[in-house]
Amino acid sequence: MDWDDFINSPFQRLMQDLDWKSKVMQDLDWKSKLYQSGGMLQQLEEQQRIWEVLRPYQAIQSHIDEMNKVRQQWETVKGISLLSASAVEDYKLSFSKDYRSIESTMKSLLHEPATELERLSERLSNIHRLEDNYRRVIDTCNVDYVLPSQRVINSIAGIAAAYSLSPESNLNLISLSNSLSYQSYVEEQLKLIDKDDPKIAVRRAVVTELSGELYESSETAAGLGLSSFYEDSVPSVETISVRSPNLYRINNQHLAYLYRQTVRGDVDRSFYRSLPTQINQLGCSIVAIICSMNELSCRQGNEAIFKSTNKSMLACSIIPTTIATNSSSFAEIIDCLYFLVYEGSGTANRLVTVVGKDALAPLWWVKHLRLGFRHDIEHGNEREILDKFVAIGKAYMSLIGVEKPRSQKDWVQAQLVLYQHILLMLEDVHAKQ
């Protein structure tokens, strides 16, 4: 292949891939796959206009700019007639490596989101086909409801915003991941409703409707984090592990007893008393009050209490949607609280100036627990090592009454109680600002 062709072919190929509107919107064919009713179609068209205005591919342009620099370098190099054949080959090798790196990055940005969005569209289509029976069942409950597919449609603008603001981070995957997790849960619920005894079908329909409220509140929390922390956010060396949200699946496990014929009771009451529901509501409240504290601080002419990082935005999405069921998932929750509340507040310095150290006990628990998860605590003299173990044990004792969680129930309970204390602590700080 001619060297100019070698340089230009990947460039042209990637330029062709940049047509996001045809790649994402037209290929997904939202109109035919989702709804034919005028009202919903009008709303979807509005979401499409929002998507186009946000231009999700803006960040990818930087990669095109990098490729242009490489092309310009080659134009300069090939004009130097004194270069030896081996030198030209060295340049070819160097440029080829640069291109492969850029091409790989761009392909990931271009194709992975499109694949995820195709999954979103496919699931929405499946849910829409199953909703007729769901509508008939839920209509008998005499409750106001929103169809699951409509809830997802309402969240599309937020997902598009996440892509446009941070297409290279895990934030966009979190936005899609919560939606896909919710849709997966709904699809399974709707299939079971078709098979359920009428009495159980009604209960399952009510649980599904109430779970939609959790989905919307979680999307709101993620949106708050995005709007509050994006503008001045900076990259962080440490990262937060990202796994698919398990809120809806774990909550359904906690509520499985409602699907038995012999069980009696109020479905709404049982739903809101379930531990995963409470964790979600507390998590959303934590995100909301942090954003409110930042806003108040800025209005008072002060700097934001919680500084912006990419981890802050991720934490706002993860905290309400992940239920700790074991050591590793609890560690991820601790990471989120640590980065958002402790590190975000300048290692608590901006909180200490408002209420003092004694009022921040839950934050010290987070610090000690993270030490146990992420650091080698068997470092130092014997007394120092023992003190670290004791501090971790006391943190768990404050949360669940034992020095170490031993079951899934313990981990869930530890997360719930920790959220309760963190929220009370933040409310105290907010009241004294």
Q: What pLDDT, in 10s, does the model give residues 42-94? A: 544 544 444 443 344 444 445 555 555 655 665 565 555 445 556 555 655 65
| Residue 125, pLDDT score | 75
Q: Which of 335, 310, 314 is nearest to 222 (CA)?
A: 314
| Any domain includes 254 | yes
| Any domain includes 207 | yes
| Any domain includes 23 | yes
Structure token digits, residue 306: 């919680």
| Residue 323, pLDDT score | 97
| Any domain includes 166 | yes
| Any domain includes 165 | yes
Low-confidence ranges of the chain (pLDDT < 70): 1-122, 156-175, 229-243, 376
Residue whose token pair is 């989120």? 336
Asked whether the CA dihedral 283, 286, 290, 295 is positive or negative, the reply is positive
Cβ proximity of 251 and 274 under 8 Å: yes
Report how far residue 18's alpha carbon sits from residue 111's, in angstroms, rounded to the nearest whole number: 10
Cβ proximity of 184 and 116 under 8 Å: no
Report how far residue 413's alpha carbon sits from residue 397's, in angstroms, rounded to the nearest whole number: 12
| Any domain includes 407 | no
CA distances from 97 to 16, 61, 94 (A): 21, 19, 5
**How many domains, the chain?**
1
Residue whose token pair is 């090798």? 93
Task: Report which residue type is found at 226.
Answer: L
Report how far residue 144's alpha carbon sits from residue 334's, in angstroms, rounded to the nearest whole number: 37
Beta bridge partners of 234: 309
Say what the pTM is: 0.74
Q: What is the largest CA-CA distance in the chain?
A: 89
| Residue 248, pLDDT score | 97
| Residue 116, pLDDT score | 57
The residue range of the domain holding 153 is 3-323
φ, ψ (nearest 5 deg) of residue 234: -125, 150
| Any domain includes 403 | no
What's the number of CA atoms in the CB half-sphere (13 Å) around residue 29?
Answer: 5
Report how far residue 151's alpha carbon sits from residue 306's, in angstroms, rounded to the nearest whole number: 31
Cβ proximity of 242 and 174 under 8 Å: yes
For 370, the 3-state DSSP assignment is helix
φ, ψ (nearest 5 deg) of residue 309: -140, 165
| Residue 170, pLDDT score | 53
| Any domain includes 260 | yes
